[in-house]
């Protein structure tokens, strides 16, 4: 049984911003046992992916129950008791596949409660309508920040992006090949070789596009997911987006930045990422420095028997590709455990 808290298959994806498009290619972004339809573009849109999820459930005849919000998970002897807002469920095995966009992270910035304008997390943003002419501060410089910030700027908003630690920016594709596919092919190479190749790509990009307009972070593009595509960079170069440093505080009418500058804003959008959605487990599991549950391998809980995690592995090969790998591994672990129990 698969429990979906929303009222439709793929609820979280269905409620992302309208223009959202995968920056990973469709060949490495599908789930086990079913590829995308050949008519879907190389980089599927949000609607493409939602339709794919709905078709996936239909074709594989998956037992999904919508409007089933999990409120708590308890360990009872050799079983799990999963509490939901529509009754309890007893299970031998539990797979946590909540991803991370179910738990948006808001930074604790002084003065946030005093700001008289509109404040939202990127997960709440839908479309640029209503933002034209408004002064918008986007906090963060990940892929959502870049896409939302550039979309708003191109729709007539006066956008400023607050960059605290910098960003590595890479092209979405090279000679028509998604950069994700290049990263995937490089996995077998030694780490030093991959670093050298990434550096060469970076220098080549600078020769083609000029010096970076965003500060460089301390880490390289292989150490954390980079900003994929030049939409934000192009908006900055066109003078449509201003760049500031980190935000030190919000005021009644705007924001103060680390450099001591203060500017007025009508709206603040926090594109500050997400935390692993582990609340139903309470203190049953320990977490690592990034907030993910500790595991003995990619999927198996280090703290509880018959507990698995899918979608908690992120690297340059793409979150959806890793979900595919994790889900197959979790199924294998559960099947092996069931065989041992039956022996």
Domain boundary among 270, 295, 326: 270
Q: Does residue 262 belong to any structural domain of this protein? A: yes
Gyration radius of the chain's alpha carbons: 22
Tens digit of pLDDT at every position of the chain (343 positions): 999 999 999 999 999 999 999 999 999 999 999 999 999 999 999 999 999 999 999 999 999 999 999 999 999 988 999 999 999 999 999 999 987 677 888 888 999 999 999 999 999 999 999 999 999 999 999 999 999 999 999 999 999 999 988 888 888 988 889 989 988 888 888 888 888 888 887 787 887 788 888 888 877 777 778 889 999 999 999 999 999 999 999 999 999 999 899 999 999 999 998 888 899 999 999 999 888 999 999 999 999 999 999 988 877 788 899 999 999 999 999 999 888 876 5
Residue 6 lies in a domain: yes
Cα 101 to its chain centre, rounded Å, is 6
Same domain, 128 and 258: yes
Q: Is residue 246 part of a domain?
A: yes
Query: Do the domain assignments include residue 110?
Result: no
Q: Is residue 111 part of a domain?
A: no
How many domains, in total, are found in the chain?
2
The distance in angstroms from the start CA to the end CA of the chain is 24
Report yes or no: 252 and 110 within 8 Å, Cβ to Cβ: no
Instruction: Pick the last residue of a domain from 226, 247, 270.
Output: 270
- 109 falls within a domain: no
Q: Which of 270, 302, 317 is the last residue of a domain?
A: 270
- Is 0.85 topped by the overall pTM? yes
245 and 131 co-located in one domain: yes
CATH number at residue 313: 3.50.50.60
> Does residue 177 fall inside a structural domain?
yes
Within a domain: residue 160?
Answer: yes
83 and 196 share one domain: no
Same domain (yes/no): 246, 287? no
Question: Where in the sequence is the domain holding 333, given as residue range(s)?
Answer: 2-103+274-342
Do 308 and 169 lie in one domain? The reply is: no
| Mean per-residue pLDDT over the chain, rounded | 92
Q: Are residues 86 and 158 in the same domain?
A: no
Residue 205's Cβ-count burial label (10 Å; 0-12, 13-18, 19+) is middle
- 176 shares a domain with 64: no
Verify that 241 and 144 share a domain, yes or no.
yes
């Amino acid at each position: 049984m698969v429990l979906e808290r929303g009222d439709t298959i793929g609820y979280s994806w269905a409620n992302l911003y309208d223009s959202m498009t995968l920056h990973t290619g469709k060949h490495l972004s599908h789930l086990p046992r079913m590829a995308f339809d050949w008519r879907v573009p190389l980089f599927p849109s949000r609607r493409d992916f939602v339709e794919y999820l709905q078709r996936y459930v239909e074709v594989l005849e998956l037992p999904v129950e919508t409007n089933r919000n999990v409120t708590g998970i308890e360990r009872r002897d050799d079983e799990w008791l999963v509490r939901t807002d529509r009754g309890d469920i007893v299970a031998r095995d539990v797979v946590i596949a909540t991803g991370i966009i179910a738990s948006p992270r808001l930074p604790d910035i002084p003065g946030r409660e005093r700001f008289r304008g509109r404040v939202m997390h990127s997960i709440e943003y839908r479309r640029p309508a209503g933002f034209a002419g408004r002064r918008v501060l986007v906090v963060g410089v990940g892929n959502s920040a870049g896409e939302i910030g550039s979309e708003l700027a191109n729709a007539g908003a006066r956008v400023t992006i607050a960059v605290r630690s910098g960003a590595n920016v890479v092209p979405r594709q090279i000679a028509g090949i998604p950069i994700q596919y290049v990263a995937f092919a490089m996995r077998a190479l030694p780490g030093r070789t991959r670093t050298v190749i990434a550096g060469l790509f970076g220098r080549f990009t600078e020769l083609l596009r000029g010096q970076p307009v965003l500060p460089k972070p301390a880490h390289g593009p292989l150490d954390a997911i980079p900003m994929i595509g030049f939409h934000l960079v192009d908006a900055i170069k066109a003078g449509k987006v201003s760049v500031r440093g980190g935000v030190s505080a919000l005021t009644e009418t705007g924001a103060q930045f680390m450099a001591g500058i203060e500017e007025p804003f009508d709206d603040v959008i926090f594109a500050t990422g997400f935390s692993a959605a582990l609340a139903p487990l309470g203190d049953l599991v320990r977490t690592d420095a990034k907030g993910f549950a500790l595991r003995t391998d990619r999927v198996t809980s280090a703290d509880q028997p018959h507990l698995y995690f899918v979608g908690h592995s992120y690297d340059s090969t793409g979150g959806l590709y890793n979900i595919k790998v994790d889900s197959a591994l979790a199924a294998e672990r559960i099947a092996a455990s069931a065989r041992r129990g039956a022996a």
